[in-house]
Amino acid sequence: MRTRISTMFNIETPIFAFSHCRDVVVEVSKAGGFGVLGATRFTPKELEIELSWIDEHIGGRPYGVDVLIPRQSARARAARVPQPQPQESSRAEPIPAAVHAWTEAVMRQYNVAPLPAEQAEVSTHMETRQATKSPVEHAQELLEVAFKHPIKLMVSALGPPPREVVDRAHGLGIKVCAMIGTLDHAIKQRDAGVDFVVATGTEAGGHTGYISTMVLVPQIVDGVAPLPVLAAGGIGRGRQVAAALALGAEGVWCGSLWLTSQQSEVSPELKERLLAAQSNEAILSKVWSGKNCRILRSGWTDAWEQPGAPPPLAFPVQAALTYQVMRRVTHAKAKDVVTYPVGQIIGQLTESRSVRQIFYDLLAEFAETADRFSAITNDNVPVSKSS
């Protein structure tokens, strides 16, 4: 599978794996793909620990880091130039008391007790950090940590990365890519200087748009040519990898695929829910972060749809609330309430396999698909008289 992307990183297969789990990142890169660590949920100190571990175990293979970089640039922030961001809080406000009270009522409904004192302190610290650090500042702190490690790729979401960040990454020999959901977004990213884009269809888990992968990928491939494009959203089988390449992509980006793996970081209760979930249970909602996000339907997401429920808070305040609530839910092992970003591919993931087995199963089915298409187009295949 030699494409421009695989040549760019000198990898055997252009299969990119997004995960918050360092074990998944390492296993995919060692198998010949490219692991990308989702860094946003970590503090700078935690990210340093994660990246140091990866450096020690990845055997010199390439890997990357994904950071949510809001649109406001570091230069504009330093100059104190106001940059309004619709439906987004540049500096998180405290979670309203009324929302806290409503949340407690939902937790009581599902018998989810408060965290023990020592764990509650961690949750409170995270909420305080969200209230005192803007998303831009948090992203900058994470990038400072990431740039000290031998990463080969920096991934940006939430708009074009600041030009100074792109230039700094390129100066360190680091490629830059961005997640996009529309052609307009792709063009802005191209103009910002990224090396390639990830066309993310609405089937994808996490922050996503409304256009399907089948429609979006060829549109982006044509619209930003000759910039390389990865396809994301609804890709978890070798046949889907082949389809992405047929649409003009130079590789694929998979995230939800690894959540049910044996190395996944999710709790046993969440993994059980994911393995049993149908594709229509991966719903679009602002409940997770305040932004459009595809997540697993649960009692928590249903509660926000009931009469009298508050509207989701702005990003990143809603994300702080979700972090706090899901810590409690995980501690209580409350399977019916747990939720997590996940794509529609989840309906096809019915067993837990090792990351390496998942990766090789992708390649095997891709090869079978390639052989089938080769047979279809082979000159020796008889042509019917009707044609």
Q: Is 212 among the domain residues?
A: yes
Say yes or no: 241 and 230 in one domain: yes
As a whole number, mean pLDDT of residues 368-374 equals: 93
Q: Is 306 among the domain residues?
A: yes
pLDDT in tens, 131-156: 456 778 889 999 999 999 999 999 99
pLDDT in tens, 247-296: 999 999 999 999 999 999 999 999 999 999 999 999 999 999 999 999 99
Task: Give the integer Cα–Cα distance in Å for 17 and 370.
Answer: 22
pLDDT of residue 86: 41
pLDDT of residue 85: 42
Written as one letter, the residue type at 323 is: Y
Q: Is 106 among the domain residues?
A: yes
pLDDT of residue 381: 54
Q: Is 31 among the domain residues?
A: yes
Say yes or no: 276 and 357 in one domain: no
pLDDT of residue 355: 98
As a whole number, mean pLDDT of residues 354-380 equals: 92
Answer with the residue of higher pLDDT: 354 or 122.
354
pLDDT of residue 122: 60
Say yes or no: 62 and 150 in one domain: yes
Say yes or no: 34 and 183 in one domain: yes
Say yes or no: 176 and 322 in one domain: no
At residue 42, does pLDDT exceed 50?
Answer: yes
DSSP states of 38-66: E-TTS-HHHHHHHHHHHHHHSTT--EEEE
Say yes or no: 158 and 239 in one domain: yes
pLDDT of residue 171: 98
Question: pTM of the prediction?
Answer: 0.89
Answer with the residue of higher pLDDT: 380 or 304.
304
At residue 75, does pLDDT exceed 90?
Answer: no
pLDDT in tens, 43-67: 999 999 999 999 999 999 999 999 9
Q: Is 33 among the domain residues?
A: yes
Answer with the residue of higher pLDDT: 1 or 105.
105
Structurally, the chain folds into a number of domains equal to 2
As a whole number, mean pLDDT of residues 80-86 equals: 40
User: Pick from 255, 193, 278, 203: which is nearest to 233 by CA?
Assistant: 203
What is the radius of gyration, based on Cα positions, of the chain?
Answer: 21
Written as one letter, the residue type at 381 is: V
Task: Give the integer Cα–Cα distance in Å for 359 and 35.
Answer: 12
CB atoms within 10 A of CB 352: 17
Say yes or no: 77 and 192 in one domain: yes
- DSSP state at residue 37: E
Task: Give the integer Cα–Cα distance in Å for 294 and 280.
Answer: 11
At residue 348, does pLDDT exceed 70?
Answer: yes
**What's the CATH code of the domain at 185?**
3.20.20.70
- The whole domain housing 366 covers 1-84+135-261+352-372
Question: Which residues partner with 251 through β-bridges?
Answer: 230
pLDDT of residue 157: 78
Structure token pair of residue 304: 């926000």
Say yes or no: 127 and 232 in one domain: no
At residue 208, does pLDDT exceed 80?
Answer: yes
At residue 90, does pLDDT exceed 80?
Answer: no
As a whole number, mean pLDDT of residues 113-142 equals: 72
